[in-house]
Structure 1
Amino acid sequence: MAKLTEKIGYGMGDMASSMFWKIFSYYLPIFYSDIFNLPLTHTATLMFVTRVWDAVSDPMMGAICDRTNTRWGKYRPYLLWFSLPFAISGVLLFTTPDYAEQGRLVYAYITYILMMTVYTCINVPYASMLGVMTSDSYEKTVFSSYRMFFAYGGSFIALYSWEPLCKFFSAHKLFFLTVKGQTGAWQGAMMVIATVCFLLFIGSFLFTREHVKEAKAGKLMNDFRFLVRNFPWWMITCTALCTNLFNTVRGATVAYYFKYYIGDSNMVDMGFVSFLFYAGVFLAIGEVCNMIGVVCAMPLSKRLGKKTTFIVSAVVMSVFSIMFFYLPLSNGGFIGMLLLQVLISIFTGVVSPLVWSMYADVADYSYYKHGTASTALIFSSGSMAQKFGGAIAGSAVLLLFSAFGLQPNSVSQTPNAILGMKLAMSYIPAAVSLLTVGLMMLYPLTTERIETFKNSES
């Protein structure tokens, strides 16, 4: 049985990763279009190209990790080595240089590729640690749940504080900012987030340990050959891609949705409490409810099985997403939006740890089937799927907005532009969620089957 400190330490790692990832997914598109002043089509291309490179680099990093051997283990030392580059790259990403448009575009490509490469170098080995911290399938779900609970906690902190931090740095022109105004405010906000992430990664390194000793990695081409023959891997990878597609389509739309459709100065009156309704509150509430879902994932998956829990959650997410389309711009409509955000986020939180726990099962299946120790290669494909989903979703949302005629920084938007934003918050993610149901129905690894493999091995 793993120590509580190890579970907390493992959670701290994804708390750091998720703080950056959610800011990138939800605020980077509007940063590039409205602060960095790049056209929507250029921003869409930038986000797709850089994320594709980032996704392709994940298996490369996985293969490197599988062949790393240090006194700290295979995967854990990367948390120490790349924590500072991770923080610095994030600040550079949200820095706006005083260049012409073409120069800014080149700078954006360089800093985004740099950030995503460093993210890969720390996140792939971090995710792979799940496969060597315990050999017990249920305890892997426990570790994964701690991971996602802390991840959503970090996301809540980052998303809830992002706009207040930007307002603070906009009002206080501090000496260490390279630029002033809104551009300097976004840079300052990222400096705060980056510092917190650096400390969390150091804490994760100090509190975790690798307990399971893997067999020496085999030939790289054999590992890839076994991977592409692994049917459960294909199903869970496609499912992971769609899951992140669902989250990113909705998340990347929220900042635009509030700025150009709802507004950022509406008050919500719930009778017993009133509060300002803006994008950060909407997203932060979702992160808290994700944490509730993560807590529910363990008992639900233990009772129903991982596969059934996943399918039920995805169906519910689809139904509630469709309902979002029909809510009016009124106090009752805003309360309805919050209620649906709560429900969708709870079931999103249920699904999230199951994906990574299933990847751990796929790694076990690969070992029992082929006798190969390619844990990081398998887990890197999860990160790859996550990033492909983000690449497709982030660029598709911007291209959709461009096609529907959205004009960045325009006071009023056309009915078509409003329709595009409403679809991106409702019917489009609903369709993606239904696709995950079909994929998960084909996923063959039940808890019973994994136990059968283990028993036959022993």
Structure 2
Amino acid sequence: MTAARSEKIGYGLGDMSSSMFWKIFSYYLPFFYSNIFGLSLEHAAVLLLVTKLWDGVSDPIMGLIADRTTSRWGRYRPYLLWIAVPFAVAGILTFTTPAWGYSAKLVWAYATYLLMMTVYTAINVPYGAMLGVVTDDSRERTVFSSYRMFFAYGGSFLALAIFEPLCDLFTRDIEKMDTARAVAAQAGGWQAAMIVVGTICALLFLLCFRLTRERVVPSESLSAGGQSVLSDMKSLAGNGPWWILLGVAVAALLFNSIRGGAAAYFFKDFVGEDNLLGGSMILTCGAFLAIGEIANMLGVVLAVPISLRIGKRMTYIWAMAVSGLLSIAFFFMPATVAGCWAMVVLQIVISAAAGITFPLLWSMYADVADYSELKHGHGSTGLIFSSSSMAQKFGGAFGSALILWLLASYGYDTSGAAVQNGEAIFGLRMLMSWLPATGCALAILLVAVYPLNETRIREIGEKLALRRAANK
């Protein structure tokens, strides 16, 4: 089944929305909680871990719900319409700092972030599962997935490019204020920036709903009550390729969340705010991350032609190997003009290689869903795709918490004018290099034993086509 380009673009707009929130939450939320909201590093670390672990647990629940949803718009697509506005509102509340005491603020942080992650699950799990029902062709799914990731990185670039300027725009003249007013103004600026971003994200999901369609009907309708939840869970537990991809996704998100989440601290305390690239060009954290998103988009474009030539599995392994090795090289870059230029070059190549991997991972999840349908005789697309979201949450949870725990263990000082000691600087350099590289190494080892090669996928597709035709 071949879909129009407008539908592929529409599908991409959904992850553009998700990625705008995801990157801001992954890259700026640890900094926000510790340096703007006012939580201790230890409390912020536990908060990020607990809420994201809950979010990961909720993903399979949402997958089961979505698999059993019936509506005139399909099984998964209606959630884009129903949850778009709550998605934006929850994000704004998470970046809201109430003028309360410390304990009350901590409760607020838990409540709003738990709400945000629950709403994120409610819209993102069905959105991801749509890849299994917009087409039944494995190569076409890789194309859909590439559109998805291209727009995802485009959204990430947009979010990272505008977020810091928006925060600055809404906190003008802060240097003229006394300390109390300046703190309140800075918190208000971050909230106002999220209002702008949240509005954009809601509109993008509504456009995704408008432009997409569900076409593939699995061989058995779960919404008709033909399959119990327990049977679904047993089938999932016995799905070997699913377990492998679950580990791959966790490892890949550890790589991304650690590098991205540590960047704000790294640039504040190691690179510095006045580090010139030559002339009047300054390498800021926002610019560094935005450059990475552009390079990610280049990687997405390369994913389809390379994978068609050497296969999804080998493409993933080589791309992740490049990302890991060059991340290690990042450790040796000095905070000089030449060092900063080298950081830019490394960021471009690392991000381009990482960008190749994500469309492949989503496409492999669709293949795993087909494998499950052929093996067990029923489709559990939402449940299987929810595992990818669950892995994102687990990887992000451990990555974000690890950043804050390590910073605390290295003696990082969160006060505004603090000068970090040598041990803290060493920790920041490790967080940008060796630690994320371990995530790459783990992902490579797991993909090396992934059993669904191109020949096996083609066989599965042919058998399912015959079964689906017979059931019509």
Q: TM-score range by the shorter chain?
A: over 0.9
CA distance in 2, matches of 1:40, 1:180: 20
* Matching of residue 282 in structure 1 with residue 288 in structure 2: yes
Where does residue 200 of structure 1 map in the other structure? 204
Paired residue total: 450
Cα deviation for residue 454 of structure 1 reads: 2.7
For residues 206-221 of structure 1, the aligned pairs below 5 Å read 206-214=210-218, 215-217=220-222, 218-221=227-230
Where does residue 185 of structure 1 map in the other structure? 189
Cα deviation for residue 78 of structure 1 reads: 0.2
**Letter aligned with residue 110 of structure 2:** Y
Where does residue 469 of structure 2 map in the other structure? none
**Letter aligned with residue 161 of structure 1:** I
CA distance in 2, matches of 1:204, 1:265: 41
CA distance in 2, matches of 1:131, 1:113: 28
Cα deviation for residue 274 of structure 1 reads: 4.8
* Matching of residue 131 in structure 1 with residue 140 in structure 2: no
CA distance in 2, matches of 1:131, 1:322: 36
Match among 358, 369, 386 for residue 364 of structure 2: 358
Where does residue 104 of structure 1 map in the other structure? 105
Q: Secondary structure at the match of 1:268?
A: strand
CA distance in 2, matches of 1:230, 1:402: 39
Q: Secondary structure at the match of 1:38?
A: coil
CA distance in 2, matches of 1:8, 1:436: 29
CA distance in 2, matches of 1:89, 1:305: 40
CA deviation vs aligned residue, 1:141-190 (integer Å, no higher than 9, x gap) = 000000000000000000011111100000189xxxxx941100100100
* Matching of residue 304 in structure 1 with residue 310 in structure 2: yes
Where does residue 423 of structure 2 map in the other structure? 416
**Letter aligned with residue 397 of structure 1:** I
CA deviation vs aligned residue, 1:424-456 (integer Å, no higher than 9, x gap) = 000111111111111011110011101112334
Where does residue 176 of structure 1 map in the other structure? none
CA distance in 1, matches of 2:313, 2:233: 26
CA deviation vs aligned residue, 1:69-100 (integer Å, no higher than 9, x gap) = 10000000000000000010111000000011
CA distance in 2, matches of 1:274, 1:433: 35
Q: Secondary structure at the match of 1:171?
A: coil
CA distance in 1, matches of 2:271, 2:392: 29
Cα deviation for residue 372 of structure 1 reads: 1.6
CA deviation vs aligned residue, 1:335-389 (integer Å, no higher than 9, x gap) = 0000000000001100011110000000000011111210000000000001000
Counterpart contact for 2:149–2:300, Cα < 8 Å: yes
Counterpart contact for 2:77–2:127, Cα < 8 Å: yes
Where does residue 441 of structure 1 map in the other structure? 448
Where does residue 386 of structure 1 map in the other structure? 392
CA deviation vs aligned residue, 1:204-258 (integer Å, no higher than 9, x gap) = 0000000111221111111110101000000011001110110000000000001
CA distance in 2, matches of 1:151, 1:430: 23
TM normalised by structure 2 equals 0.94
CA distance in 2, matches of 1:5, 1:426: 39
Q: Secondary structure at the match of 1:372?
A: coil
CA distance in 2, matches of 1:228, 1:172: 57
Where does residue 90 of structure 1 map in the other structure? 91
Match among 229, 250, 253 for residue 244 of structure 1: 253
Most deviating of 325-334 and 179-188: 179-188
CA distance in 2, matches of 1:454, 1:4: 23
TM normalised by structure 1 equals 0.97
- Which runs of 5 or more residues in structure 2 are unaligned? 175-182, 467-472
CA distance in 1, matches of 2:272, 2:161: 17
CA distance in 2, matches of 1:263, 1:196: 31
Counterpart contact for 2:98–2:105, Cα < 8 Å: yes
Q: Secondary structure at the match of 1:133?
A: coil
Cα deviation for residue 130 of structure 1 reads: 0.3
Counterpart contact for 1:322–1:426, Cα < 8 Å: yes
Where does residue 59 of structure 1 map in the other structure? 60
CA distance in 2, matches of 1:450, 1:294: 21
Where does residue 459 of structure 2 map in the other structure? 452
Cα deviation for residue 402 of structure 1 reads: 0.3
**Letter aligned with residue 170 of structure 1:** T
Most deviating of 164-173 and 143-152: 164-173
Cα deviation for residue 328 of structure 1 reads: 0.9
**Letter aligned with residue 75 of structure 1:** Y
CA distance in 1, matches of 2:184, 2:426: 35
Q: Secondary structure at the match of 2:414?
A: coil
- Which runs of 5 or more residues in structure 1 are unaligned? 174-178
Sort the Cα spacing of 1:172 and 1:15 in 2 relative to 1 into closer, same or farther, 3 A: farther
Counterpart contact for 1:124–1:376, Cα < 8 Å: yes
CA distance in 2, matches of 1:439, 1:49: 26
Q: Secondary structure at the match of 2:242?
A: helix
Cα deviation for residue 261 of structure 1 reads: 1.2
Q: Secondary structure at the match of 2:199?
A: helix
Sort the Cα spacing of 1:40 and 1:453 in 2 relative to 1 into closer, same or farther, 3 A: same
CA deviation vs aligned residue, 1:96-128 (integer Å, no higher than 9, x gap) = 000111111000000000000000000000000
Counterpart contact for 2:241–2:450, Cα < 8 Å: yes
Where does residue 301 of structure 2 map in the other structure? 295
Where does residue 163 of structure 1 map in the other structure? 164
Counterpart contact for 1:18–1:152, Cα < 8 Å: yes
CA deviation vs aligned residue, 1:378-411 (integer Å, no higher than 9, x gap) = 0000000010000000001100000000011242
Q: Secondary structure at the match of 2:282?
A: strand
Sort the Cα spacing of 1:147 and 1:172 in 2 relative to 1 into closer, same or farther, 3 A: farther
CA distance in 1, matches of 2:463, 2:34: 56
Q: Secondary structure at the match of 2:276?
A: strand
Q: Secondary structure at the match of 2:170?
A: helix
CA distance in 1, matches of 2:19, 2:371: 28
**Aligned-CA RMSD value:** 1.1
Where does residue 313 of structure 1 map in the other structure? 319
Counterpart contact for 1:170–1:180, Cα < 8 Å: no
CA distance in 2, matches of 1:456, 1:210: 21
Q: Which runs of 4+ in 1 moved over 6 A?
A: none
